[in-house]
Amino acid sequence: DGGITQSPKYLFRKEGQNVTLSCEQNLNHDAMYWYRQDPGQGLRLIYYSQIVNDFQKGDIAEGYSVSREKKESFPLTVTSAQKNPTAFYLCASRSRTGTGFEKLFFGSGTQLSVL
Amino acid sequence: DAKTTQPPSMDCAEGRAANLPCNHSTISGNEYVYWYRQIHSQGPQYIIHGLKNNETNEMASLIITEDRKSSTLILPHATLRDTAVYYCIVRVAAYGGSQGNLIFGKGTKLSVKP
């Protein structure tokens, strides 16, 4: 099936540790996104990538890093500089039509917790 | 992109229509209205979108007022599985290298009750 695959579903981080969240898509989309969601809140944009080998900071990029070496993959690293990493992380890819209509396809998310 | 205002929560009886309002009084002529929903602990899912006309698909109907300052998402026969947070988003029609992204606020938490 075509879609977005995020792994792992649950992840635990020790203090001072970097952890990497995986996001893979087989929808042949150029643009991919990482969002963070805290309980009862909306989604906040961490990083996005419009094309391979290019990415841009979103609203809350501090303490996070990404890479986009392949079209299918957009991994997110939560570094030790992110002091409050406990949250639900969502990856998405985007399709866009000639009429300017955009549609985001989301993965099932990764819940990151601090030990 | 225009801001949206939604009620934080709503209840609906199972089998009845759920009508979710959204105010977007500063919308401009080339901005789409999008609706997504997020079931607990899952990623958001696209429902429907519209520009000027009312729209209907297999999931829902979208009614946009003539002045486009507000819209209503209608789930005609709500089921327990429709319990979710519903997001109304306004975003300029995006072409080529246009910047910006869909912005998800807090949405409306819809609870469908038996």
Query: What's the per-residue H, E or C state across B18-74?
Result: EEEEEECCCCCCCEEEEEEEECCCCCCEEEEEECCCCEECCCCEEEECCCCCEEEEE
Is A100–B87 a contact, with Cβ atoms under 8 angstroms apart?
Answer: no
| Contacts across the A-B interface (CB distance below 8 Å) | 57
At B88 the pLDDT is 96
- CB–CB of B42 and A109 under 8 A? yes
A101 touches chain B (CB under 8 A): yes
CB contact under 8 Å between B92 and A100, yes or no, is yes
Looking at residues B31-47, what average pLDDT do you find? 95
At residue A11, the pLDDT reads: 95
Ramachandran region, residue A80 (left: φ > 0; alpha: ψ -120 to 50; beta: rest): alpha
Residue B58 pLDDT class (50, 70, 90 cuts): very high
C-alpha to C-alpha distance for B87 and B34, rounded to whole angstroms: 8
Within 73-92 of A, beta carbons closer than 8 Å to B belong to 88, 90, 92
pLDDT at B78 over 60: yes
Cβ–Cβ contacts within 10 Å for residue A2, how many?
A: 8
* Backbone angles phi and psi of B81, in degrees to 5: -75, -10
Q: Do the chains contact at B44 and A100, CB–CB below 8 Å? A: no
